[in-house]
Structure 1
Amino acid sequence: MAIHKPKQGFLILLSALLFVCNLPAWMIHAQVSIPAKFDGFVYKNSLTHADTIMIETFFDPVCPDSRDAWPPLKRVLDYYGTRISHIVHPFALPYHDNAFVTSRALHIVNKLNASATYDLLEEFFKDQEMFYNQQTKQMSRASVVDQIVRFVTKIVGDDSLSAVASGFNDRSTDLATRVSFKYGCSRGVAGTPSFFVNGFLLPNADSALDYNKWRSIIDPLISAQRLSRNETPHFFL
């Protein structure tokens, strides 16, 4: 008596059904652990309160668009002062070979001296071409890290060389950089720069916004806040 083997199409369909049935359990195991503190680097230690407009920015330290987006945004932050809170989330794009290691450097410096984090970010933007794919394609991973360590110590001081180098052997800075990337993914970020204002993604803002464009976004929000504060409560008897 002949034994009939299942057709290949049936086996593929069966495998797909088994995958779907097991998907919820797989997703549970793949969930990201909640970090001990909110991700990102706060600009000038600004504090969030009820009347603060929150801007969240996702930057890749070696992304040219991120570099071009920072000067007008920084000008806006300094103009509005305490009326705006700003957080940068490092988001290492996978097609930039050195995005993860430069993002990790930001976490290392933030841990050593939080006041120097934005200084380092600006220096990465200023000299980011030295960390582009083409410029480092002949270098080993260890050589790139060593170059970045020496680059970072110019910002935080030569006496911090050993501390910065140790930071790249510290598992916590590796995990923090991964959390930053996963956090961006959880917010739907797919490119840099990406901007969120009061929790909402700015549409069509995947490149630099000039100063006037930022003003056109922020000014109406501040006007709406003033109107809300000046409204007379209505009481119904």
Structure 2
Amino acid sequence: MEARHRVMSLLLVLVIGCCAWGCRPGAAQVPVPARTDGFVYGGKAPALGETVVVEAYFDPVCPDSRDAWPELKKAVEHYASRVTVVVHLFPLPYHSNAFISCRSIHAVNKINPSFVYPLLERFFKYQIIIDQEGYYNQPTYGKTRATVDAEVAKNLVAPVIGEANLAAYKAGFNDSKSDQATRISFKAPKKL
């Protein structure tokens, strides 16, 4: 009887210990990026309080992001030096190729930050050119991930960065840093 009591006590301590370990603060959280992410539109980031900062979360293959982008650009042009736009890439899980498109933009940013917005706009434009849907879901359902990656590199990335930079793009696309940036960068806490 006493041996059974000890076994039950030991099991209870083990269960409580496992629960306590699993419930510790931060156990289920995603790592926080080393720096705040985002791509400043039209130049360098302003000093704190210098301008009103508008932070936009865009998915390059999302029709709603595509439709919002021209209006946001008009607002930036209208308010000029009083507003700064920072775009954060946000790959939506229900857009089949969102992760690929966001990772592509992070990869070209490593090559040259001036490629970011031309590529983002090319993703938006490409949605309109090909059956209104480009790389947005259904047209790519029968394709492998490798095929879509290759098509994105050839049809969207190469015209922006040039054939000479394609090897650097592919290396950056397969780099774990671009993977991490795509997965967690938009989750960084924002200071208000």
Give the alignment's TM-score, normalised by structure 1.
0.66
Which residue of the partner structure matches residue 223 of structure 1?
Answer: none
- Alpha-carbon distance, 1:19 to partner: 8.7
**2:110·2:172 contact (CA, 8 Å) conserved in 1?**
no
Show structure 2 runs of 5+ residues with no match. Answer: 1-15, 128-132
Q: Which moved more, 1:42-51 or 1:167-176?
A: 42-51
Which residues in structure 2 correspond to 1:116-135 (within 5 Å)? 116-128=115-127, 129-135=133-139
Aligned to 1:147: 151
Q: How does 1:8-23 map to 2 (within 5 A)?
A: none
| Amino acid in the other structure paired with 2:84 | S
Question: How far apart are the structure 1 equivalents of 2:185 and 2:63?
Answer: 19
Q: Percent identity between the aligned chains?
A: 45
Distance (whole Å) between structure 2 residues aligned to residue 57 and residue 47 of structure 1: 15
Report deviation, 1:172: 0.6
Alpha-carbon deviation of 1:182? 3.2
The equivalent residue for 1:89 is 88
1:111-145, CA deviations, whole angstroms, 9 ceiling, x for partnerless residues? 11101101110110011222011100110010111
Amino acid at match of 1:113: N
> How far apart are the structure 1 equivalents of 2:96 and 2:55?
24
Find the residue that maps to 1:57 and give its secondary structure: strand
Structure 1 unmatched runs, 5+: 1-16, 188-197, 200-237
The one-letter code matched in structure 2 to 1:38 is T
Q: Is the 8 A contact 1:107 1:176 kept in 2?
A: yes
Aligned partners of 2:95 and 2:18: how far apart in 1? 33
The DSSP-based 3-state class of the residue aligned with 2:60 is coil
CA RMSD of aligned residues (A): 2.2
Q: How does 1:45-194 map to 2 (within 5 A)?
A: 45-49=43-47, 50-128=49-127, 129-150=133-154, 151-183=156-188
Equivalence for 2:13: none
Q: Partner residue of 1:211?
A: none
Letter aligned with residue 31 of structure 2: S
Aligned ranges for residues 16-31 of structure 1 at < 5 Å?
24-25=23-24, 27-31=25-29
CA distance in 1, matches of 2:38, 2:186: 11
Q: TM-score of the superposition, structure 2-length normalised?
A: 0.80
Q: Is the 8 A contact 2:33 2:185 kept in 1?
A: no
**How many pairs align?**
170
